């Protein structure tokens, strides 16, 4: 099976500027003589829909390009007014190349087992944030003497809950067995 590679070669030397493909690095290019460039390691031009042949740099639009492929050699002949001429800039060729072998991707390392103490501490922090959120407006009402009796009862319940959360690590069986305090309502 084959795939497409886009190769940019430099007109003055035939050197490969870059190759855009699935990692193919087996293509060699060189300037054989004035206006003649040779590439080895391709399977010829990539026909549509995989490729569209070649594209010359805008500066070389006045030149004609002929491409042949025989005996594993892709030859590009460039002429200007019927005479061999080097490209002033570059040429992009869309060639066919061997499909790369499938990559063997190692299985990801298993995640280390979760630390139960860290998980419990994260849950305590989450529940503590909820308690803090509930306590703040109730405490504000008490501080400015505008708390109702119900506000005072709720504040006390939420503060008891927060204290109970802080004491979770003191429980027998921590962190594997937790007796979570009930959320006040």
Q: Which residue has the higher pLDDT, 95 or 100?
A: 95
The 10s digit of each residue's pLDDT in 5-56 is: 788 888 888 888 777 765 567 788 999 999 999 999 888 887 776 667 888 8
- Distance, in Å, from the CA atom of 180 to the CA atom of 164, rounded to the nearest integer, reads 8
Amino acid 108: pLDDT: 86
According to DSSP, the residues that pair with 112 across neighbouring strands are none
- Distance, in Å, from the CA atom of 146 to the CA atom of 143, rounded to the nearest integer, reads 8
**90-99, 146-155, 163-172: range with lowest mean pLDDT:** 90-99
The 10s digit of each residue's pLDDT in 132-141 is: 999 999 999 9
The overall average pLDDT reported for the chain is 88
Residues 6+ apart with CB under 8 A from 98: 1, 2, 3, 24, 26, 43
Confidence class of residue 182 from pLDDT cuts 50, 70 and 90?
very high
**3-7, 59-63, 99-103: range with lowest mean pLDDT:** 99-103
Dihedral of alpha carbons 112, 114, 116, 121, sign = positive
Q: Which residue has the higher pLDDT, 25 or 114?
A: 114
Q: Rounded to the nearest 5 degrees, what angle is found at the Cα of 121, between the Cα atoms of 116 and 125?
A: 150
Which residue, among 139, 116, 135, has the nearest Cα to 127 in the 3D structure?
135
Query: Has residue 1 got a pLDDT over 60?
Result: no
Amino acid 50: pLDDT: 66
Mean pLDDT of 107-116: 87
List the chain domain ranges. Answer: 2-98, 116-170
Query: Has residue 105 got a pLDDT over 80?
Result: no
Mean pLDDT of 161-181: 95
């Amino acid at each position: 099976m084959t795939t497409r590679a886009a190769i940019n070669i430099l007109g003055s030397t035939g050197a490969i500027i870059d190759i855009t493909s699935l990692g193919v690095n087996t293509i060699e290019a060189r300037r054989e003589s004035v206006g003649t460039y040779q590439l080895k390691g391709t399977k010829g031009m990539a026909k549509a829909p995989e490729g569209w042949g070649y594209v010359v740099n805008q500066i070389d639009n006045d030149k004609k390009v002929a491409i042949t492929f025989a005996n594993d050699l892709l030859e590009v002949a460039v002429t200007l007014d019927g005479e061999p001429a080097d490209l002033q800039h570059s040429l992009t060729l869309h060639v066919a190349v061997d499909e790369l072998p499938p990559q063997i991707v190692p299985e990801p390392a298993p995640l280390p087992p979760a630390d139960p103490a860290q998980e419990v501490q994260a849950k305590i922090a989450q529940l503590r944030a909820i308690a803090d959120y509930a306590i703040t407006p109730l405490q504000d009402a008490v501080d400015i003497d505008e708390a109702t009796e119900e506000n005072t009862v709720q504040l006390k319940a939420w503060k008891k809950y927060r204290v109970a959360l802080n004491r979770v690590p003191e429980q027998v069986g921590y962190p594997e067995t937790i007796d979570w305090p009930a959320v006040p309502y």
